[in-house]
Amino acid sequence: MDSKSQLQYLEYRRKRVKRIKAFMLFICALFVLSPTVLCTVLFFKVIKLEKAFENLEGQFIMAQEESVKSETFVADSIIIPNTTDTIIKDNTPDAEKYEGQTRVYLTFDDGPTDYTDEVLDILSEYDIKATFFTIAHEGKEVEYNRIVDEGHTLAIHSYTHDYGKIYSSIDSFTEDITTMSNYLYEITGVRPKFYRFPGGSSNGVSGISKDDMFDVLDKEGLVYFDWNASAQDAVAGGLSTNQVVNNVLGGINENGETVVLMHDSAGKSTTVEALPIIIERLKEKGNVVFLPITEYTEPVQHVKKGE
Ligand code: ZN
């Protein structure tokens, strides 16, 4: 082998060794990278499955509640002797059941707070049931449960009450509602059926399509209620007790249904003071019935679907 061929041979060997090295590096990289990629893919799959499972679990719980409800109903109608009468009576809309009477639905927004306990004490004293459109307040578990245990209607007002957040998109609107529904369900075991829009259904804050929001409520099995009388106690600075009394009494529809908007939020001491006066004055007038919102209540809605 002359020196030229020897050089060529060495060059050939050098290239071969380089190729083998590159190949080995490639194999090593493949062994390191593929498990990482696989892990990432699996990680996202697990998250997706967890979400699907949560959804199914929610649906299952709701279905269970429904079946318990219908079972109870069937059981009642079997045990009570005059079944036909009982069923008709139980399914009668409030408007029919209390025809000719002044129907007053007291509703309290933005609680529970320390004032809620006072409101509940007053209602219990007069044996009156009302409706509480609540938001999330840490440490108020006792009050949420008192609302339920004492026979009032526990309803959703929102989780955060932060207009900017809730109405920023249809997704965040939906999330706020489902979070609050789950929050109340975990604390009380009750899945709320009624909703009040922060700012009311006619609020000008939201840029989202109202019909889209109504669709979300339908899907969540929620009926929304606005009001046709207001204590106007949400105004900054607060009102005197007399003003609250006059605002409420001035809005009462004596020949039908009045859904009264009041607040049991922080700083509403005059609302609490006004409450027994309002009840006494209405009772003095006579022919009045105080009711909680139920599925038999005709909804008061400022804006309806398609409007
Ligand atoms: Zn509110």
Residue among 157, 226, 233, 263 flagged as catalytic: 263
Tell me if the bond preceding 192 is cis, omega within 30° of 0: no
User: Is 212 an annotated catalytic residue?
Assistant: no
> What pLDDT, on the 0 to 100 scale, is given for residue 53?
60
The two beta strands, 223-224 and 102-109, are unpaired
> What pLDDT, on the 0 to 100 scale, is given for residue 228?
97
C-alpha–C-alpha distance, residues 110 and 234, integer Å: 10
Residue among 94, 109, 110, 233 flagged as catalytic: 109
Residue with tokens 């290239």: 15
> What pLDDT, on the 0 to 100 scale, is given for residue 40?
73
Are 110 and 145 in contact by the 8 Å Cβ rule? The answer is: no
Taking the centre of ligand 1 as the mean of its atom positions, its distance from the CA of residue 166, in whole angstroms, is: 12
> What pLDDT, on the 0 to 100 scale, is given for residue 279?
98
> What pLDDT, on the 0 to 100 scale, is given for residue 237?
77
Each residue of 33-43: pLDDT tens digit?
877 777 577 76
User: Is 109 an annotated catalytic residue?
Assistant: yes
The CA-atom distances, in angstroms, between 268 and each of 22, 105, 236, 263, 295 are 77, 19, 10, 7, 29
Q: Which pairs from 279-284 meet CB under 8 Å and 24+ separation?
A: 279/122, 279/126, 279/128, 281/245, 281/249, 282/102, 282/104, 282/249, 282/252, 283/126
Helix (H, G, I), strand (E, B) or coil at 109: strand
> What pLDDT, on the 0 to 100 scale, is given for residue 15?
85
The CA-atom distances, in angstroms, between 205 and each of 79, 166, 184 are 51, 10, 26
Residue with tokens 């609050």: 180
> What pLDDT, on the 0 to 100 scale, is given for residue 58?
55
Nearest to 295 by CA among 194, 185, 156: 194
> What pLDDT, on the 0 to 100 scale, is given for residue 94?
97
What does the block give as tokens for 215? Answer: 């669709």
Taking the centre of ligand 1 as the mean of its atom positions, its distance from the CA of residue 198, in whole angstroms, is: 5
Taking the centre of ligand 1 as the mean of its atom positions, its distance from the CA of residue 124, in whole angstroms, is: 24
C-alpha–C-alpha distance, residues 132 and 21, integer Å: 74
Nearest to 115 by CA among 231, 228, 306, 267: 267
Residue stretches of the chain with pLDDT short of 50:
60-61, 63-88
C-alpha–C-alpha distance, residues 107 and 251, integer Å: 14
Taking the centre of ligand 1 as the mean of its atom positions, its distance from the CA of residue 157, in whole angstroms, is: 7
Taking the centre of ligand 1 as the mean of its atom positions, its distance from the CA of residue 100, in whole angstroms, is: 32
> What pLDDT, on the 0 to 100 scale, is given for residue 189?
98
